[in-house]
């Protein structure tokens, strides 16, 4: 995600809301999950398959998903009296969350591949992996190219191999798709961690 898109979304968090539902209070970054209308949920579902082509995120689709997410963050921010920093990191978390969900349902990765990914992430120590992913996400937010050094790329490659996701002729494409979903997870990790430090 480019810096311009991120700041456009977060700058709008100061806009007034028509309502502040009581059930939005006191749930931290999980608050947003209950804030979407049926129409917004359906639109997010329809946008999912168009979010990524190959290894490229479609900016227009990403921005539209950001617009939808922003309404949920605004609602929670008003109800919980979040300050600008809290709203900013809640936005990061929610963008990562809804993009991960829609990408998982897009068909770009099979159910077996997703299960292998989740199983691999659930076991062992992945601090180095997440450090690399989060650093790449930060670079992308600050208009960097997110390029990794050879050593970092080897860490990710080793993880993909250990997860059984290096599938023959499709290995490169699968690795790119795994990188995308790890990036969305990284956004959530950054947003949740930084949000929690502000309490």
8 or 175: whose pLDDT is higher? 175
Q: Assess contact for 141 and 3: CB atoms under 8 A.
A: yes
The tens digit of pLDDT for each residue in 132-175 reads 999 988 887 776 555 677 888 899 999 999 999 977 667 888 88
d(CA 36, CA 14): 19
Tell me the average pLDDT across 41-66.
86
Task: State the DSSP code for 5.
Answer: H
Q: Which residues contact 128 (CB under 8 A, 6 or more apart)?
A: 155
pTM across the whole model: 0.81
| Cα 5 from Cα 37, distance rounded (Å) | 23
| pLDDT (tens digit per residue) in 80-135 | 999 999 999 999 999 999 999 988 988 889 999 999 999 999 999 999 999 999 99
């Amino acid at each position: 995600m480019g810096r311009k898109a991120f700041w456009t979304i977060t700058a709008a968090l100061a806009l007034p809301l028509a309502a502040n539902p009581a059930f939005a209070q006191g749930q931290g970054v999980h608050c947003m999950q209950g804030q979407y209308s049926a129409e917004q949920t359906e639109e997010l579902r329809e946008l999912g398959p168009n979010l990524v082509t190959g290894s490229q995120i479609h900016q227009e689709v990403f921005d539209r998903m950001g617009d939808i997410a922003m309404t949920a963050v605004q609602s929670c921010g008003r109800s919980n009296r979040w300050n600008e920093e809290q709203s900013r990191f809640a936005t990061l978390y929610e963008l990562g969350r809804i993009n991960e969900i829609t990408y998982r349902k897009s068909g770009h990765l099979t159910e077996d591949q997703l299960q292998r990914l989740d199983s691999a992430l659930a076991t062992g120590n992945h601090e180095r992996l997440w450090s690399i992913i989060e650093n790449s996400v930060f670079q992308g937010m600050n208009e960097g190219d997110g390029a990794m050094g050879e050593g970092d790329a080897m860490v990710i490659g080793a993880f993909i191999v250990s997860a059984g996701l290096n599938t023959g002729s499709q290995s490169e494409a699968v690795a790119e798709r795994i990188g995308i979903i790890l990036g969305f997870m990284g956004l959530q990790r950054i947003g949740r961690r930084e949000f929690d430090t502000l309490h």
